[in-house]
A and B are shown apart, each in its own frame.
Chain A
Amino acid sequence: MIEPTDPTPAGPPEPTTPEPTTPEPAMAEHWNDLVTVALLGTDRRDPPTPPGALADLVADTARSSPSERMLAQVAAATAVRRAGILPGPALDELAVPEGDDRLPCTPAAVDRWHHITASWPVLEDEWLLTLIRNGWRIAPELLPAMLLRHRNDAVRRTRVMVGVGNAGRWLVGHLPYLEARHPNATVTPEALAELPDLPIAPELAQMLDWPGSEIAGVVGQSIESAALGQSHKPMLVNLVARIRLDALIDFADGMDSVDSTASGHGLATVLGDLATTRHRMLDELAST
């Protein structure tokens, strides 16, 4: 049984005060003087006297007007400041979240999550529940996208928090925009642990426990005879998303065999792709 975790985010660490990055104090001071003159304009105030090194740099320029002298100084000072970039002071470390013994899911599983959320969102619940049940941890690079995606869905968001462990609350603590929209929503353990029911017509639902080849035979014939068409696609997708795991390969093979001249061949191809995707997804999330 998956237990819900405390959705309350941990607070961010105390901020530290930044300090400016400057090549050297004299240059920083001179730059501030230049900015002051630039704000007022050289019609109102003359440019400052450049410090030693900068004075040498602009000394060879024959500038008559204050604005020309000012521009020369600004150009030289900017070049020196940028080329002389120095790091600011070292900053305090962020508190690190508590460790998690679970292995992060593989890069292939990460890619699969991106694929199914883009193409087969009907599989997302199963992806996450399988990951949790098989002892994987959500790969960290998926976390921001998952938290954003499920800000409004208490059940899925809680699953994400379970799947990622302490790092989830730690991240939300630092980035409040990732917080849940309804943080006080209650989630039952049953809702958390079970796949949601999908609407499947009774005549299709009876096939849920059939072998893959038999399902493919019936569905394929119906597609070829046009008894099943695009209007039935949502139900058929739900069916493939819930048939037995050991039926997926045979079903996908059966869809490959559908007459390519049939008007429903495209639908068969789509269903075959779904079955293949689901099979690969479960394979990638097999027990650690």
Chain B
Amino acid sequence: MTAAQPIATPTRWAGLGADAQSVWGSFQGSGAEPYDTMVDHGQLGFSCTCPSRKTPCKHALALLLLWVRGQIVDTRTPSNVEAWMQRRTGARNRAAGADRDAPKSADAPTDAGAQEHRSHSIAPEGAAPDSVSGESPGPTPVDGETIGDERPPPPVPPPDPDRAAARDDRVARMRAGLTELDRWLDDRIRTGLADPSLAQYSTWDSLAARLVDAQAGSLANRVRRLAGLVGATPHWHDDVLAELGILHLLARAGHRIGDLPDGLADAVATSVGWQVRQADVLAGVPDTDEWLVAGRSDVREDRIEVRRHWLRGTNSRAWALSLSFAAYQQSLDTSLPVGTSLRADLHRYPGHALRSLMGTRHGDAVNNGGVASMFAASACSIAEGCDEVGVMVAAEPWLDRVPVTIRARLARTGQTWALTDETGSLPILDLGTRAFDAGIAMLLAVSEGRPLALTIEWTPHGVIPLSIHLPDRTVDIGPRANTSFVSAA
């Protein structure tokens, strides 16, 4: 409601109107297109084209505020509102008929609130894609809305006639967004990377906003991150060009998603921005194992702090990723200390993604010396680690963070640091922050120049050491969020 108050002003809206059952209007948000918002105040239902995962979103609440204050006059019902109300009435009638005709299923949802959906969204609370490319989506904050820690799944809603239409609409919007992205990329390649407009954030941000409108939040976040590469290093042209190539790859793959094998299609869909409901993920077959918390890294992305916990199954040896998010003064997940293990059901996002949701925990995360010794024993050489990374990146070239546990020592290359062994070396990403200094200092202090088992994150621009696995314990050295921004860092 706090977020709705500032926008409950008639001057921020266009096409406001109401009738005996509904109220509607168009709000000009941060995107290029206004958000069409409708509220059924008789039977309480909401529809908004904004990408927020909250239901109701702040636009719907603002609309209701305006209406109860008498700031919206009754007018003729527009055709789109009429059609929406008719679909809702039809759905209610069918649901009532079904209730009369059939005994209630044991697992049928009974929560009346669950019957309402964001008509624009297949995944009301699903995360929009983020920087965790390939790992699948994270949140995309819009218009000051923020996303907190992952929440427990809502009840599974019944089939909704709005969904098919919304899905079609969304597919069309996303395809249009991908076409626009490819056209934009084409312009950049034609005019060249020396174009001064690339140094302006607005060049990238306006594209990102349009991608958010097209429900391709993951690509939008990718574009915003890309803006940060311009001028960041002497080799920024290489980095930016490579990222433009990956965006092109995703745009093309998104257009041909129907031709792709199922697993790859799912991976492309989530990397482009297709939202997946947490309930759907949690409804999948769990991957039950003793999960070892191998490493943690915190990264600020726009106005959200993203925490990645890299988990590894004791039996499967498979990697998984648990994400948590915190906006300003919110808390990150602290329930998975590095070096602990816990038995839990992990549910992977579609496409055999690294990203997973933790379902049932069959116990707390406990300190376990076995974690460190397992990693110390299984750590591979740098060359083998490159092979592991290569296999994962070959399957999904848009991955930009891949975990691997290696045995290596710290070395210097000029002014920068690297990890090395007899099979080769990998440059360490200079994060340019105190977090980087702290991680390197810890690695240097603990290793004293000797080889150690380390869990690292590979990125296209260098690796990030996350944890040191000593014989008796694991030391967390991953980049840590600034405590002035989020708590529980």
Contact = CB atoms under 8 A, between A and B. Distances in A.
Interface residues of A, number: 59
Contacts of B252: 75
A87 B241 contact: no
B245 A96 contact: no
Contacts, number: 179
A74 B453 CA distance: 35
Given A75-B248, A96-B450, A174-B444, A91 B413 contact: yes
A38 B448 contact: no
Interface in A51-70: 65-68, 70
B381 to A, nearest CB: 9
B411 interface: yes
A254 to B, nearest CB: 33
A90 B424 contact: yes
A259 to B, nearest CB: 34
B438 interface: yes
Interface in B237-273: 237-238, 241-242, 244-246, 248-249, 252
Nearest to A82: B393
B445 A75 contact: no
Contacts of B415: 15
B426 A88 contact: yes
Contact of A141 (B389, B390, B446): B446
A171 interface: yes
* A-side interface mostly: helix
Interface in B382-423: 382-383, 386, 389-390, 393-394, 397, 409-416, 418, 420-423
A49 B195 CA distance: 24
B425 A78 contact: no
Contact of A87 (B182, B192, B386, B450): B386
A85 interface: yes
B74 interface: no
Contacts of B3: none
Contacts of B393: 79, 82-83, 85
Given A91-B418, A144-B438, A175-B444, A78 B426 contact: no
A6 B186 CA distance: 62
A92 to B, nearest CB: 6
Given A75-B246, A79-B397, A18 B423 contact: no
A85 B456 CA distance: 15
A71 B440 contact: no
A35 interface: yes
Contacts of A107: 472-473
A44 B194 CA distance: 12
A88 B418 CA distance: 10
Contacts of B440: 175
Most chain B beta-carbon contacts within 10 A, residue among A71, A72, A79, A95: A71
A9 to B, nearest CB: 13
B230 interface: no
28 contacts: A12-B412, A13-B412, A16-B413, A21-B427, A35-B237, A38-B244, A44-B192, A71-B189, A74-B244, A75-B252, A76-B245, A78-B241, A79-B249, A82-B242, A83-B390, A85-B389, A87-B426, A90-B421, A90-B424, A90-B425, A91-B411, A91-B413, A97-B448, A143-B441, A167-B445, A171-B441, A174-B412, A177-B437
Given A71-B185, A175-B444, 8 more contacts: A15-B412, A78-B397, A79-B393, A87-B382, A92-B411, A94-B449, A170-B448, A175-B440
Nearest 4 A/B pairs, CB to CB: A87-B424, A41-B192, A74-B245, A94-B449
